[in-house]
Amino acid sequence: MPLVVICGYPCSGKTKRAEELKEYFHRNTERKVYIVGDGALGVDRNSVYADSQKEKEVRASLKAEVERKVNKDDIVILDSVNYIKGYRYELFCLIKHAQTPHCLVYCLTSDEQSSSWNRGRHSAEQYSQDIFDALVQRFEPPDSRNRWDSPLFTILKDDDLPFGSISDALFKRKAPPPNQSTQSQPLTSVNFLYELDKITQEVLMEIFNAQKTSVPGDLISVPGATEKISFLCTIVHVLKTFFFLLIFIIF
Tens of pLDDT, residue by residue, the chain (251 residues): 699 999 999 999 999 999 999 999 999 999 999 999 987 787 888 999 999 999 999 999 999 999 999 987 899 999 999 999 999 999 999 999 888 999 999 999 999 999 999 999 998 889 999 999 999 999 999 999 999 999 999 999 999 999 999 999 999 988 888 765 545 555 555 566 677 777 777 877 777 777 677 666 677 777 777 777 666 554 555 556 556 655 655 55
Domains and CATH numbers, the chain: 3-182 (3.40.50.300), 191-248 (no CATH)
Q: Cα–Cα distance between 98 and 176 in angstroms, integer?
A: 10
Per-residue b/e over 152-190, b at no fewer than 16 CB within 10 Å? bbebeeeeeeeeeebbebbeeeeebeeeeeeeeeeeeee
15: nearest Cα among 96, 121, 94, 145: 121
pTM of the full predicted structure? 0.71
